[in-house]
């Protein structure tokens, strides 16, 4: 009877359950801001206008009322928290809907992991839509914990919370018509097809788009974004913890093209979510950089809803979900009240929503390491080595060649030149694989960092100054059944257990944030000057982002799309 009641309210025949009076409505549909009332019945907006009665009223006193924000592309696992705790963080910042690709946990546990995320999102205040993970594993140059083919993804095809096929990272497979890749695209051809094509331009990009791929969130230059827009793609402008593309791409935003642009966060750690926020943070930055507030709001709301076909979201209008934010300053947007489905879920930066008690869910082991494989020594084969050029502001890395430091016939870390040893230990299938290489940019002077967050295969990655510290770090992670550590010799300085697939904790996000901050502080104590060396480390094994990466199989030259030798 909710629709009957809603229509009665809309006609003025019965009072609404809630009226938000004297609002300055940010109407992203018409592009106007004007004074009006918004009437809520149940979980939906019943009417917009004056002259309606209501059982309960909130006088906004001229404050702004806008639709709740929508994140176009996010990996919830990167918050290191399960969906209910992630929800607590982003709801306080006005994000009421997210579209997530759970390919992090899918690479560890397959469909079991995706179902875990859907189950943990049930009965929560946050709208969590899922894109079916398209690249599990990301490529053949890694060992993941699962493999999802088209016939596996078919189980998700008609799921009510699944919108389409997630970021197609295997862009060579699309461009050169790999049969398995095209099977997935064909299966989801009536759904949304998200892309992932960093630096792909020209005829290869045309082929990628011709396959039906509709979006991309990997643009790092205006030129790249413009070319993708011109070919019909929707561009997701991104600002994650490590991927700072927002300010670079804002100059491309115009009145003519902004409806084809959306905001996304991709990967953000707890501290950034709690302190800076999510899509609201991006909207504030965009407005501060001179983007018209209405255009910025659209990129965080209705544009994303339109792209994904979420017809009931993204705007405040009769029949839409009553997902709304209240704020006072259009040029420094800080949500003061957040409504999800007509219910006040956050106020003044504090989430009022309390997650329901967790139902026990058994997940299979995700830590299966051959202990005898933990030999990190590298016999020298020549004087010259390939070195990954690491960064904590981009996930794109350098492909460097430098002189090796050789001691007693072995290549070792060279702290004076910031060339550290890196290893990736296979943890899913007990293969005994260990990829070994060298990396710059992390700045450690002693000790090691290790963790099971290593996109996208999430094997156990370690970067260290000496082999003993590296072994101690890896052993500490295994003992925790997954997580992040910083060690100095045999001594563990700080740790964050992540027992859910080696990716997430079920602890409150504030606890996770505190322990994560402690590991970062320990990394700084060991000499790293990176803002977040743990997040940076997690992308150094991602072999679908140029230029040089390390997996358990070995060094991958991403531009050649093949495994290459460490020694030159």
Last residue of a domain, one of 62, 91, 112: 62
One domain, residues 228 and 293: yes
One domain, residues 266 and 384: no
One domain, residues 420 and 554: yes
Q: How high is the pLDDT of residue 515?
A: 98
Last residue of a domain, one of 42, 62, 82: 62
One domain, residues 163 and 198: yes
Q: How high is the pLDDT of residue 395?
A: 84
**pLDDT tens digit sequence for 420-468:** 999 999 999 999 999 999 999 999 999 999 999 999 999 999 999 999 9
Q: How high is the pLDDT of residue 358?
A: 86
More confident residue, 361 or 223: 223
Token pair for residue 325? 């934010």
Asked, as a colleague might, if the bond just before 456 is cis with ω within 30 of 0, I would say: yes
Token pair for residue 176? 């050169």
Taken as a whole, the chain contains a residue count of: 568
Average pLDDT over residues 500-526: 97
Residue 343 lies inside a defined structural domain of this protein: no
Residue 294 lies inside a defined structural domain of this protein: yes
**pLDDT tens digit sequence for 128-164:** 999 999 999 988 999 999 999 999 999 999 999 999 9
One domain, residues 124 and 250: yes
Residue 340 lies inside a defined structural domain of this protein: no
Average pLDDT over residues 309-325: 98
Output DSSP code: residue 355: P
Residue 323 lies inside a defined structural domain of this protein: no
Q: How high is the pLDDT of residue 151?
A: 96
Name, in order, each residue with C-beta under 8 angstroms of 501's C-beta and a sequence gap of 6 or more: 77, 104, 105, 108, 109, 113, 116, 363, 366, 458, 482
What is the domain range of residue 53?
A: 2-62
One domain, residues 277 and 398: no
Query: Would you place residue 88 in the very low, low, confident or very high pLDDT band (cuts 50, 70, 90)?
Result: very high
Query: Would you place residue 1 in the very low, low, confident or very high pLDDT band (cuts 50, 70, 90)?
Result: low
Q: What is the CATH number of the domain that holds 52?
A: 2.30.40.10
Token pair for residue 135? 């690249």
Residue 364 lies inside a defined structural domain of this protein: no
Burial 389-428 (b: 16+ CB within 10 A, else e): ebbbeebbbebbebebbbeeeebbbbbeebbbbbbbbbbb
Residue 362 lies inside a defined structural domain of this protein: no
Mean pLDDT of the chain: 96
Residue 228 lies inside a defined structural domain of this protein: yes
Report how many domains make up the chain. 3
Q: What is the pTM of this model?
A: 0.94
pLDDT of 215 higher than 90: yes
pLDDT of 28 higher than 90: yes
What's the angle, vertex CA 158, arms to CA 157 and CA 163, rounded to 5? 70
**pLDDT tens digit sequence for 371-405:** 999 999 999 999 999 999 998 878 889 999 999 99
Last residue of a domain, one of 37, 62, 87: 62
């Amino acid at each position: 009877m909710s629709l009957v009641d809603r229509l009665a309210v809309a006609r003025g025949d019965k009072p609404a359950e809630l009226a938000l009076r004297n609002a300055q409505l940010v109407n992203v549909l018409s592009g106007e801001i004007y004074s009006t009332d918004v009437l809520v019945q149940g979980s939906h907006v019943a009417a917009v206008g004056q002259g309606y009665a209501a059982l309960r009223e909130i006088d906004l006193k001229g404050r702004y009322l806008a639709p709740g924000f929508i994140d176009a592309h996010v990996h919830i696992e990167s918050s290191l928290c399960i969906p209910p705790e992630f929800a607590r963080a982003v709801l306080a910042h006005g994000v009421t809907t997210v579209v997530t690709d759970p390919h992090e946990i899918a690479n560890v546990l397959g469909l079991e992991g995706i179902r875990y995320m859907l189950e943990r999102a049930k009965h929560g205040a946050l709208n969590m839509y899922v894109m079916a993970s398209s690249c599990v594993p990301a490529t053949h140059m890694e060992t993941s914990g699962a493999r999802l083919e088209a016939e596996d993804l078919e189980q998700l095809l008609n799921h009510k919370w699944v919108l389409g096929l997630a970021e197609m990272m295997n862009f060579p497979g699309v461009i050169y018509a790999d049969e398995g890749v095209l099977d997935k695209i064909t299966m989801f051809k009536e759904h949304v097809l998200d892309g992932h094509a960093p630096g792909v331009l020209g005829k290869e990009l045309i082929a990628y788009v011709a396959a039906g791929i509709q979006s991309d969130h990997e643009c790092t230059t205006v030129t790249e974004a413009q070319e993708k827009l011109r070919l019909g793609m929707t561009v997701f402008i991104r600002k994650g913890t490590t991927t700072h593309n927002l300010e670079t791409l804002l100059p491309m935003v115009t009145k003519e093209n902004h409806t084809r642009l959306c905001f996304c966060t991709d990967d953000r750690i707890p501290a950034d979510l709690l302190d800076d926020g999510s899509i609201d943070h991006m909207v504030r930055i965009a407005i501060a950089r001179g983007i018209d507030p209405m255009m910025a709001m659209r990129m965080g709301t209705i544009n994303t809803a339109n792209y994904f076909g979420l017809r009931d979201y993204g705007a405040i209008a009769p029949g839409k979900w009553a997902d709304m934010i209240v704020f006072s300053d259009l040029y420094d947007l800080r949500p003061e009240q957040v409504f999800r489905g007509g219910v006040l879920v956050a106020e003044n930066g504090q989430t009022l929503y309390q997650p329901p008690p967790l139902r026990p869910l058994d997940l299979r082991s995700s830590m299966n390491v051959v202990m005898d494989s933990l030999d990190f020594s590298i016999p020298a084969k020549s004087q010259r080595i390939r070195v990954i050029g690491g960064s904590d502001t981009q996930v794109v890395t350098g492909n460097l060649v430098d002189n090796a430091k050789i001691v007693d016939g072995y290549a070792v870390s060279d702290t004076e030149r910031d060339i550290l040893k890196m290893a990736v230990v296979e943890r899913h299938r007990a293969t005994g694989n260990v990829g070994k290489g060298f990396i710059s940019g992390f700045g450690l002077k002693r000790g090691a960092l290790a963790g099971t967050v290593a996109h996208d295969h999430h094997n156990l990655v370690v970067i260290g100054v000496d082999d003993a510290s590296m072994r101690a770090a890896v052993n500490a992670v295994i003992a925790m059944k997954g997580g992040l550590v910083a060690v100095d010799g045999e001594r563990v300085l700080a740790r964050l257990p992540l027992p859910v697939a080696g990716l997430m904790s079920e602890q409150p996000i504030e606890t996770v944030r505190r322990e994560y901050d402690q590991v970062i502080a320990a990394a700084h104590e060991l000499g790293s000057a990176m803002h977040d060396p743990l997040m940076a480390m997690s992308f150094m094994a991602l072999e679908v982002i140029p230029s040089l990466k390390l997996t358990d199989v070995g060094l991958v030259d991403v531009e050649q799309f093949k495994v290459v030798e460490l020694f030159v």
